[in-house]
Structure 1
Amino acid sequence: MTQPVSLVELWRGDLLESQHWGHAVVCNGAGQIVEAWGDPEAVVYPRSSAKMIQALPLVTSGAAAKYGLGPEHLALASASHSGGAIHVEAVSDWAGKLGLTEGDWCCGPQTPKDPVERKRVIRAGQKPGQFHNNCSGKHAGFLTLSQHLASGPDYTAIDHPVQQAVRAAFEEVTGEASDHIGLDGCSAPNFSTSMVGMARAMAWFATAHQRADPLSAAAVQIRSAMMAHPDLVAGEGRACTRLMRALNGKGAVKTGAEGYFVAILPEQELGVALKIADGATRAAECAIAALLVRLGALDRDDPEAQAFINAPIQNWRGLQCGVMRPAAGLLA
């Protein structure tokens, strides 16, 4: 088994102080590996990076059309949002469309990452709710599909029709059977796949417009929704939102817990998957930005690219004392 390789370095002065190791794979539309670092066959959980896959049955089942869901809803279904007012209000409206309440969600309450909403909740003496959960949009999609299928309320159970449909879609687009099932932070199942399997799935999304089957048509809708609404997919200041805005409709990126990140690049007809072995989000953000530059999707001199590939390390006085940057060989 190939070991992870150094993908991100932290320098303090002229000394390499820390390194983040991991795996990264780039696949083309045929599912072939174009470039790889580390072990393409490493099996991991893609966590929230798989949300656009989890949203596929929402569209292919006819549920999205039945309930009049638009691009904003599909972006939310694929989101790990910050729990800002824009996200909470949209999910609340979605619940009303379904005739449901916050108590029907199974993701659990979460303190908002959005600083404005977090302060509002504290000042109002309120407790964070389930709609604040970064996965509440995904769960809205699950509940919509559950209603459409007339299935029971335990929609996060592995044997529930919703999760069986998600697993079938996941295994189809990754081209692999999922041998491991983990419980995600939002209580939904998360299915394992190899690094190349996930990169293959992202390349499948990237080239979906070249095919006419229903699953590919759903993929086009979902990736287009993500690119059109980067603010809903994450939130202000978040890497997904910032990088997709910089891509300007030319690609979609999505983070996942424990240092996972993916990219869908339709113009390059490529898909990217990367995993930082120690689970560090900061390293995953640096690495995905470097790969976007390497693959020609993002200009190296773009301020948003520079913010991640030459990220300054500052001390408490605001003095720059170091820099985080891609390891040699990741950024051409």
Structure 2
Amino acid sequence: MKPFVRVTRGAVDESWHAGAIAVANPEGEIVASYGDLDFFTFARSSCKPIQALPVVESGALEAFGLDESHLALMCASHSSEPMHVEKANEILQSIGLGPEHLVCGVHVPHSREAYEDLLRRGGTLTAIHNNCSGKHAGMLAYCRATGADPSSYAELDHPLQQAILRTLSELAGVPVDDIRVGVDGCGVPVHAIPLRAWARAFASFLRPGAPHAAAMKRILSAMGRHPELVGGSRDRFDTDLMRATQGRIVAKGGAEGFLAVMDTRLGLAMVVKVLDGNARAIPPVALKVLTDLGAISAGERDSLHAYVEPSVLNTQGREVGRIIAEFSLHRS
């Protein structure tokens, strides 16, 4: 991996982050890149739009009266704000299940304000507050719509997980047997393929007539129209990027320094992986690529100025350094 972000403290480059970038057109051809595109990596939560495809194609949304706001939450790593918890509960109520059926576990919400409000009200954290609760609720909706066993939906041999595996294989052009499978932080299977294959998979969302095109279009629309449900109302880069571009660009971050971006106007998909997993490098890298590709206007970039060269702050709130993306894309 090659360095692509430097972190300064005063006039000194204190740290560097290495990583790789792949940009693909709708046919899956790499048109711009940086670093090792054959690096095998998990996309983590960036894969949620792909994991949602079998859910959409099962007819679960129509069967249970769910709309695109619920679909957006199925693709989310949300901040556990009230709007997120409400939408997750709506999905579960519509299918006759409850938070106890979610196997994603419990963690402190990403939103500090939401967590402090829950404590003030004497509430208790449950799996519904997990940032993946929307994805898991969607998976349970698939089970209800298809008659699959809801108690084992997180197991690799479950019909849903096998459908996700086949779908990813199809979109990425990687044989099922070559996809490496682990367990995600929320307990469901997670998949590793080369970075160039991830770019190909997300680029298929932009190809008219591609397999699963109708479901892909619905997912892009849901995420682009409800960016705050995909992430949160504050300090979420993927949400803010979608807001700034009015949903023209659809983005989904993943743990350990992964990001997937789909530009519906230019028809380009970008994936970024930070080798050390530090997500602080993601926003400046993504914005530099989008700027270099002409994917965002000056006004849109200005509205995201806090992410262009993020400040390094000390405990006084004083800026003591910057996080600066510094690389040149290779154009194919």
Q: TM-score, normalised by structure 2?
A: 0.94
Residue 169, structure 1, aligned to residue 167, structure 2 = yes
Residue 65, structure 1, aligned to residue 55, structure 2 = no
After TM superposition, list the pairs within 5 Å mapping 1:101-112 onto structure 2: 101-112=98-109
The percentage of counterpart residues that share the same residue type is: 36
Aligned position for 1:49: 46
After TM superposition, list the pairs within 5 Å mapping 1:1-332 onto structure 2: 4-152=1-149, 153-177=151-175, 178-207=178-207, 210-211=208-209, 215-237=212-234, 238-300=236-298, 302-329=301-328
Retained in 1: the 8 A contact 2:34–2:330? no
Deviations 1:33-88 (A, max 9, x none): 11111111111110000000000001112222222221101101100000110000
> Could you say what secondary structure the match of 2:304 adopts?
helix
Q: Distance in 1 between matches of 2:284 and 2:258?
A: 12
Tell me how far 1:123 sits from its aligned partner. 1.9
Tell me how far 1:170 sits from its aligned partner. 1.1
Q: Distance in 2 between matches of 1:114 and 1:147?
A: 31
Deviations 1:263-286 (A, max 9, x none): 011111111111000000111222
Deviations 1:311-332 (A, max 9, x none): 1122222322111111132599
Retained in 2: the 8 A contact 1:107–1:130? yes
Letter in 2 for 1:252: V
TM-aligned CA distance change 1:310 to 1:300, over 3 Å: farther
> Could you say what secondary structure the match of 2:3 adopts?
strand
Q: Distance in 1 between matches of 2:165 and 2:284?
A: 30
Q: TM-score, normalised by structure 1?
A: 0.94
Deviations 1:179-212 (A, max 9, x none): 31110011000011110111111111123xx227
Retained in 1: the 8 A contact 2:50–2:164? yes
Q: Distance in 2 between matches of 1:83 and 1:10?
A: 30
Retained in 2: the 8 A contact 1:154–1:160? yes
Tell me how far 1:116 sits from its aligned partner. 2.4
CA RMSD of aligned residues (A): 1.7
Retained in 2: the 8 A contact 1:45–1:190? yes
TM-aligned CA distance change 1:212 to 1:50, over 3 Å: closer
Letter in 2 for 1:233: V
Tell me how far 1:305 sits from its aligned partner. 3.1
Letter in 2 for 1:305: L
Deviations 1:106-158 (A, max 9, x none): 11112111222201222233331111101000011100111112111210000
Tell me how far 1:161 sits from its aligned partner. 0.6
> Could you say what secondary structure the match of 1:72 adopts?
helix
Q: Distance in 2 between matches of 1:128 and 1:166?
A: 29
Q: Distance in 1 between matches of 2:330 and 2:135?
A: 33
Moved segments of 4+, more than 3 Å: none
Retained in 2: the 8 A contact 1:261–1:285? no
Q: Distance in 2 between matches of 1:6 and 1:101?
A: 46
TM-aligned CA distance change 1:305 to 1:330, over 3 Å: farther
Letter in 2 for 1:283: A
